[in-house]
A and B are shown apart, each in its own frame.
Chain A
Amino acid sequence: MKIVLMAGLNLRRMFKDRTNIFFVLVAPFLLILVLGQLYGGGQQLRLGVVAGPGAPSERLASALASGSRVTVERLADEEALRAAVERGRLHAGLVIPASYDSGGGRVRHLVRATDIKSHDTGTWIRSIVRQEGARGQPSLPVRVTTTGKTPFPEGLNAYAIAAPGLLLMFTFLTSLTAALGLVESRAIGVTARLSAGPTRLRTIIAGEAAGRIAIALFQAVLIMLGSMALFGVSWGDPVGAVAVLLVFSLVGGGAGMLLGAAFRTPGPSISVAMLLGLGLPTLGGATIPLESFAEPMRTLAHLTPHAWGYDAFARLIRHGDGLTGVLPQLAVLGVLAVVLFALGTWRLRRALSG
């Protein structure tokens, strides 16, 4: 009961600071909206086309431009098209070979692997190519093949790219900044006062730990449910998603516990909280998708819990995996949570027992 009381008090105190109302309740959704837009939510698709001079090619290019969400730009050659796609000026490119005019050939679709909107052009292109192919050469089969590996499945909600990373970032950041409450409790003597009362030291420590977990869980659940309701984000297999959310909240809570136990005064603790709370997610792919990192940086990113959380959510959301598919990530995060709580508990016990 006392543990629940302490956890509830921690949550209540977090909202006594009005700036927290913005940073915990509003800021995550603003950022999901902004990043979702950056990743392409609701954007006009820019498609570059290199086409032969014949009527069929011309007809196909015109048909592609008929979509309300697609703007077609004609380019002179494949080299220029490739450069424009690589630089991100165009979302994707389409090369219609000269042989298309004579009833054959292979229409090629160029995309940037890490650009979700590149993949979104695929649905449109396939439907138009099929439609035009059927109209010009009804007897010719249209075959669609895909080469290479795409990290973002076609049709993926752009906000589903932003939401998992931001859930990880804000859960961790809020846990660390809220640890200031524990530092303050110790600095003003409340924790010592409690230990002078009829509450055992282990109950006080458990209460503080429960407070850290409650804050992390509150933030994570809010973002998960809020992003579903506001942006239509699907988090994949519910059991897997809840498991990742729970285990990552434990990591955030453990980090908060360790930070709150390690510092005696609020000043340095808030600096460290901001540094780790913003630095680790950036390194761990929570703000910029991990897929766009170079290989050495991706390896380095996995020194952070965020990269493991990101991988787990990516598997659930984009690849349709279930709980068993994210067990390795859950195991790593689980071990990290245990280590952080063990260190935080040990440090707090040492500090309180004088």
Chain B
Amino acid sequence: MAVLAVEGLRKSYRDLVAVDGLGFAVREGETYGLLGPNGAGKSTAISMIVGILAPDAGSVSAPPKARVGYVPQEVAVYPDLTARENLRFFSGMYGMRRAEAKSRTTEVLRLVGLSDRADEAVAKYSGGMQRRLNIAVGLLNRPSLLVLDEPTAGVDPQSRNAILDSVQRMTGEGLAVLYTTHYMEEAQRLCDRVGIIDHGRLLAEGTPAELGEPDLEAAFLRLTGRELRD
């Protein structure tokens, strides 16, 4: 059963068509990777899926906002607050009561491995720790759909590995995940199915094995004629 169904999604800014008739679905317990180079339209598509941007055309069928976890590309937490203060604030914005917010904050801190640094200002965290906190905020509301927009951008390999580990743990619990990245190795490690996107259009879709080629990088090169990290 599809947790997320996107059909004919379109968004343009004056003459630039950022997303052009995009359509795909993510099933329960599935991790779906949206792959594309910078400027392919991934983040614009994500913004429409989570309701930040209004599409020009098309439709998005997703769980109610209270059941969607969104992890934006930028570290969207307050750097001057501690991790715990941030999580308590976002819990409140999800409508949780004090006791529930407190226990859920403790849970997600443990899940992303930040329990021992929870009361430090986020500004003092490494890039990888900030990214993990960014994910923790997206998990607060026990989502049925988790949308991760390039969650490992700009982090060191060790932190990236820790982030991928925690995403893999979560998908084992029946969570549907939409994951955008331009790192092929991440998509191959995490995703059950992959959609390759360029110029706002879905070029191909399938399991990494279905897409043929020795690996996804080669598939992408064949489909778009350019390197993924262009």
Residues of A whose CB lies within 8 Å of any CB of B are: 1-2, 5-6, 9, 12-13, 16-17, 185, 188-190, 192-199, 353-354
Which of B65-73, B151-159, B201-209 lines the interface with chain A?
B65-73
User: Please, which residues of chain B bring their CB within 8 A of the CB of A196?
Assistant: 50-52, 65, 68, 70, 72
**B37-71 vs A: 1/0 string, CB under 8 Å?**
00000000001001111100000000011101010
User: Please, which residues of chain A bring their CB within 8 A of the CB of B77?
Assistant: 188, 190
Contact at B92–A5, with CB atoms within 8 Å? yes
Contacts between the two chains (Cβ within 8 Å), count: 71
User: Please, which residues of chain B bring their CB within 8 A of the CB of A190?
Assistant: 76-78
Interface assignment of B80: CB less than 8 Å from any CB of chain A? yes
Contact at B72–A197, with CB atoms within 8 Å? no
Contact at B65–A193, with CB atoms within 8 Å? no
B66 to chain A, nearest CB (A): 4
B190 to chain A, nearest CB (A): 22
> A16-B80, A192-B72 in contact; A197/B52 too (CB < 8 A)?
no
Contact at B52–A198, with CB atoms within 8 Å? no
Alpha-carbon distance A198/B95, docked complex (angstroms): 8
For A193, the closest partner residue in chain B by CB is B76
Contact at A13–B81, with CB atoms within 8 Å? yes
Interface hub of A13, A194, A198 (most chain B Cβ within 10 A): A198
For chain B, the bracket of interface size reads 20 to 34
- Interface residues in B71-88 by Cβ distance below 8 A to A read 72-81, 85
Which residue in B66, B75, B80 is a CB contact (below 8 Å) of A198?
B66
User: Please, which residues of chain B bring their CB within 8 A of the CB of A6?
Assistant: 93
B85 to chain A, nearest CB (A): 8
For B44, the closest partner residue in chain A by CB is A354
User: Please, which residues of chain B bring their CB within 8 A of the CB of A17?
Assistant: 80
Interface assignment of B137: CB less than 8 Å from any CB of chain A? yes
B219 to chain A, nearest CB (A): 31
A116 to chain B, nearest CB (A): 43
CB-defined A-B contacts under 8 Å, sample of 16: A2-B95, A5-B89, A6-B93, A13-B80, A16-B121, A188-B74, A188-B79, A193-B76, A194-B93, A195-B52, A196-B50, A196-B65, A197-B66, A198-B66, A198-B141, A199-B93
19 additional contacts, CB 8 Å, given A16-B80, A195-B51? A1-B92, A5-B89, A13-B78, A13-B80, A16-B121, A188-B74, A188-B78, A189-B73, A189-B74, A189-B75, A193-B137, A196-B51, A196-B65, A197-B90, A198-B65, A198-B94, A198-B95, A354-B47, A354-B53
User: Please, which residues of chain A bring their CB within 8 A of the CB of B47?
Assistant: 192, 354
User: Please, which residues of chain A bring their CB within 8 A of the CB of B53?
Assistant: 354
User: Please, which residues of chain B bring their CB within 8 A of the CB of A16?
Assistant: 80-81, 121
For B71, the closest partner residue in chain A by CB is A193
For B121, the closest partner residue in chain A by CB is A16
B6 to chain A, nearest CB (A): 16
User: Please, which residues of chain A bring their CB within 8 A of the CB of B75?
Assistant: 188-189
Alpha-carbon distance A185/B81, docked complex (angstroms): 12
A172 to chain B, nearest CB (A): 23
User: Please, which residues of chain B bring their CB within 8 A of the CB of A197?
Assistant: 65-66, 70, 90, 93-94, 141
B135 to chain A, nearest CB (A): 12
Q: Which 5 residue pairs of A and B lie closest in terms of their CB atoms, listed nearest first? A: A189-B76, A198-B66, A196-B50, A16-B80, A193-B76
